């Protein structure tokens, strides 16, 4: 029986290899992030790049879906995105509301079409 096959060994591997290396960068980000001006040109560029990456991911999910989305027609995927945007705007620019509305439209549309995952 090796060290990694025990429950304690597995937990230690997760802590030392998964959690701690990530936590160091999170703490450093908090410490250095306090001094960054959110209105600076650099941060506006970072926000623009992040927005473009998110738009690319959404476009990829719409046009070249994978997994369970392959079974859903394009019109349903586009309708879910549109309803999610509408839910976001109507419900006081709440990202959670937009995601939940879009997900509800996808689930209801899949159920109505008889598509199962």
Buried/exposed code over 26-51 (b: 16+ C-beta within 10 A; e: otherwise): eeeeeeeeeeeeeeeeeeeeeeeeee
Q: What is the pLDDT of residue 17?
A: 84
Could you tell me the pTM of the whole model? 0.66
Q: Where are the domains of the chain?
A: 1-35, 39-64, 66-117
Q: What is the pLDDT of residue 9?
A: 80
Let me know how many helices (H) and strands (E) the chain has, helices first. Answer: 5, 0
Across the chain, which has 117 residues, the per-10-residue mean pLDDT values are 69 82 87 86 92 94 91 95 96 93 95 86
The Cα–Cα gap between 50 and 62 comes to 19
């Amino acid at each position: 029986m090796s060290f990694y096959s025990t429950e304690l060994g597995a937990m230690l591997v997760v802590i030392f290899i998964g959690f701690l290396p990530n936590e160091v960068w999170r703490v450093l980000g908090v410490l250095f992030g306090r001094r960054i001006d959110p209105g600076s040109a650099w941060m506006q560029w970072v926000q623009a790049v992040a927005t473009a990456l998110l738009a690319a991911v959404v476009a990829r999910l719409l046009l070249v879906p994978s997994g369970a989305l392959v079974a859903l027609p394009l019109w349903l995927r586009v309708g879910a995105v549109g309803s999610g945007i509408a839910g976001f705007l109507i419900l006081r620019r709440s990202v959670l509301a937009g995601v939940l509305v879009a997900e509800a439209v996808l689930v209801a549309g899949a159920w109505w079409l008889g598509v199962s995952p």
